[in-house]
Structure 1
Amino acid sequence: MEDNLNALTVLGFEGAFNLPVWVGQRQRLFEKYGLEVGLEYVKGSVDMINRMTSGSAQVALTSVDNVLAYRAGQGETADGSAPDLVAFMGGDHGFLSLMTKPEVASVSQLRGKCLSVDALTTGFAFVLREILVANHVALTDVTFDAAGGTGNRYRALVAGKHDGTLVRAPFERLAERHGFNVLVRGSALFPDYLGTVGAVMQSWASTNQDQLIGFILAYREALNWIFDASNHEAAVEILRTGFAELTDDEARAVLDDLMDPNDGLIHDMSIPDAGLDQVSRIRDAHAPVSTYESRRDCVDLRYLELAQSSTRWAR
């Protein structure tokens, strides 16, 4: 174990998909690679980008759509741009569910309703628009409200401030307990969708390569731990610590979601071309300027490839 640890601030959003970070912290995996990792939740994607560009954080676990948007100058910060931001590893496939108030039983009943998103033109906002279009609901028939990250939107929904929103695991299970409806699961409409990625500023990564590779290797060890059946009860306990409202059975169901081979955590941490393409196509269907041709520029896999070539990768 390293004595002198490098502090690494990781920004993220509330959700069960943070399990690899929690495992890495509990099992002291990051410390093996000389890192002291702190996970901090942001208010929303704008807050995240501002903190990344200011240098107050080093790594973000965020939607790849945010990387596409800010690389292309289509974000919602003061200048809307973070051209130095790149995705360096894959995290998950989104775990997205459209939740609505109990009285809203179908997508068509969302006409005239207020839907919340993180930010209006980044993150998963365009997925919500795509769901509406697929169900023949005009975007002009609903009102969108920028309400911040998943946890904020869930709490606002339960408090009656909005009629519907996209949430991520495990908030759909918590909302169902309150009588709210799951109208659409994102995996059903967008089977290749790429959700969370690890993102970093290239300028920081180029001068801190060893730290970034160490983070990747520790995250990989955490994933191996999660996918090891002998650790499942311990993983359930960690999930319940993160979300005290979850019952044991609900936490086990969430863990099953996380380990789903098609829709769960990305065990090899790759960034699938099909997933990136699907996010790009959805963004280009709704954004004023196409990012499709530049989508490959938002990915830098050199650090993941160096980690994969390490003898520690297979552990």
Structure 2
Amino acid sequence: MISRRDMIGYLALGAGLLAMGGTALAQQPATPFKVVAFAGASNLPFWVGQEKGFFAKEGIAPTLEITPNSVEMAKNLHGGRYDMALTSVDNIVAYDEGQGEADLPSKADFVALFGVDNGMLSVMSVPEIKTFAELKGKTLSVDAMTTGFAFVLRAVLAKEGIGPNDVTYVKVGGGAQRLEALLKQEQAGTLLNTPLDLVAEGKGFNRLARGADVLGAYQGIVGAARRDTAAKMKTEMEAFIRGFHASVTWLADPAHKDEAAGMLVARMKGMERPQAEKAYDRLLDPKEGIYRDLRISREGLETVLRLRSEYGPGQVKLTDPDRYVDLSYLKAALGGR
């Protein structure tokens, strides 16, 4: 028969072993996960996920690098420098169709795994230009001529009666680069996403139109990867999606507005507190902001394909949204959530 003293000893030993096991588990290193993105809206959930431990909870330690342009993004995602890109879905379509501006050594094989937003795009102009008509004869900046949001800008201008020969387009780079060039008035206008548009607006630059008001449904930023990378890193991909989703859920709570605005001020060059608060309201707008469920809008993707069919190289007609999307990772990550 086990004595009371022995029983206490066994219990103490068991508790010690459990504690040691728990400590070992807690000290197990998180899996690295390399992400590339453009400056803009999609990065706020990432920063939240890092600071609040949502990614760590899922066992991954993602890092984020800001790319200067879509060409570098595509080359580095394809080459394996990054596991995932937060990028416009049009970039995914372009490279999968062989229409991208980067010369890749083999088939792109990119695929969108989840959605972030509708682009939250606006045509912004220098202070002295207040109407679209005043853009005629001027120079406008884009990231790349045949990818990203360049076709959105062309489509919005076309709706306003401005044809491709009425303006001059120059390649400047991603949103941060275009914002900087606009603030220096190196070009008369460009397309910016939130919160970069608010930085420009806060400095006296003009918003001529919102892309969504002109084009309707549009799929903007997505989380994307190479198909083979996604398959090999299925566990990490789904963990990242869960962490990103937890971050969006945290952001959607109005009680966190002040803290979220502070993150924007701390991390966004030129962002002041009033613009940061406006950015939060825009980014977390239930209808027009970051998607709570990380969906990819089929209707929005159809608009992307329509614009690429009209303005893309060779005007190749693209009609199958499913060709560029694999939602199985999103479904596995979130289940019934």
- Is TM > 0.5 for Structure 1 vs Structure 2? yes
SS at match of 1:139: coil
Secondary structure class of the residue paired with 1:232 = helix
**TM-score normalised to structure 2 length:** 0.89
Q: Secondary structure at the match of 1:60?
A: strand
The one of 59, 70, 80 equivalent to 2:95 is 70
State the alpha-carbon separation in 2 of the partners of residues 16 and 269 from structure 1. 14
Whichever residue aligns with residue 148 of structure 1, its letter is G
Residues 16-95 of structure 1 correspond to what in structure 2 (within 5 A)?
16-79=41-104, 82-95=107-120
Q: Structure 1 residues 256-265 or 284-293, which shifts more?
A: 284-293
- Contact map agreement 2:283 2:289 (CA 8 A) in 1: yes
Is 1:132 equivalent to 2:150 in the alignment?
no
**2:266 is equivalent to residue 241 of structure 1:** yes
* Secondary structure at the counterpart of residue 165 of structure 2: helix
Change over 3 Å in CA distance of 1:2–1:47 after alignment to 2: farther
Could you say what secondary structure the match of 1:121 adopts? coil
Aligned-residue sequence identity (percent) comes to 37
Compute the RMSD of aligned alpha carbons. 1.6
1:162–1:262 CA distance, 2 compared to 1 (3 A): same
Report the counterpart of residue 144 of structure 2 in structure 1: 119
Q: 1:179 to 1:80 in 2, by over 3 A?
A: farther
Runs of 4+ in 1 over 6 A off after TM superposition: none
The count of aligned residue pairs is 311
Q: Cα distance, 1:81 vs. partner?
A: 7.0
Structure-2 residue corresponding to 1:307 = 333
> Quick check: 1:93–1:195 contact (8 Å CA) kept in 2?
yes
Deviates further, 26-35 or 112-121: 26-35
Q: Mark the runs of 5 or more structure 1 residues left unpaired by the alignment.
A: none
> Among residues 238, 246, 250, which one is paired with 1:225 in the alignment?
250
Q: Is the 8 A contact 2:123 2:189 kept in 1?
A: yes
Whose radius of gyration is greater, 1 or 2? 2
Deviations 1:140-188 (A, max 9, x none): 1111101100000010111121111001112222212322111111121
- Counterparts of 1:191-270 in structure 2, within 5 Å, are 191-243=216-268, 245-270=270-295
Between the aligned partners of 1:229 and 1:13, the Cα distance in structure 2 is 26
Shift of 1:80: 9.2
Comparing 235-244 with 8-17, greater Cα deviation is found at: 235-244
Counterpart position of 2:324: 298
Structure 1: distance between partners of 2:256 and 2:28: 27
Do residues 289 (structure 1) and 315 (structure 2) align? yes
Q: Specify the alignment match of 2:168 in structure 1.
A: 143
Q: What's the TM-score once normalised by structure 1's chain length? A: 0.95
Cα pair distance change 1:81/1:228, threshold 3 Å: farther
Distance 1:112 1:36 in 2: 48
Task: State the shift of 1:298 in Å.
Answer: 0.5
Counterpart of 1:10 in 2: which secondary structure? strand
> C-alpha displacement at 1:244, in angstroms?
5.4
CA distance in 2, matches of 1:109, 1:176: 18
Question: How far is the alpha carbon of 1:292 from its aligned partner?
Answer: 2.0
- Deviations 1:97-145 (Å, cap 9, x if unpaired)? 1111112111111111110000001000000000111011111111110
Say whether the 8 Å CA contact 2:75–2:104 is kept in structure 1: no
Task: Please give the secondary structure, in 2, of the residue aligned with 1:77.
Answer: coil
| Alpha-carbon separation, structure 2, partners of 1:196 and 1:179 | 27
Alpha-carbon distance between aligned partners in 2 of 1:289 and 1:79, rounded to the nearest angstrom: 21
- Give the aligned partner of residue 188 of structure 1: 213
Whichever residue aligns with residue 260 of structure 1, its letter is D
Matched, 1:170 2:192: no
Partner AA of 2:323 in structure 1? D
- Equivalent AA in structure 2 for residue 22 of structure 1: W
Q: Residues of 1 paired with 2:269 and 2:184: CA distance? A: 19
Q: Which amino acid aligns with 1:70?
A: Y
Counterpart of 1:122 in structure 2: which amino acid?
T
Is the CA contact 1:68–1:291 (under 8 Å) kept in the aligned structure 2?
no
- Greater shift, 75-84 or 50-59, is seen at 75-84
Q: SS at 1:30's partner residue?
A: helix
**Distance between the aligned counterparts of 2:303 and 2:254, measured in 1?**
32
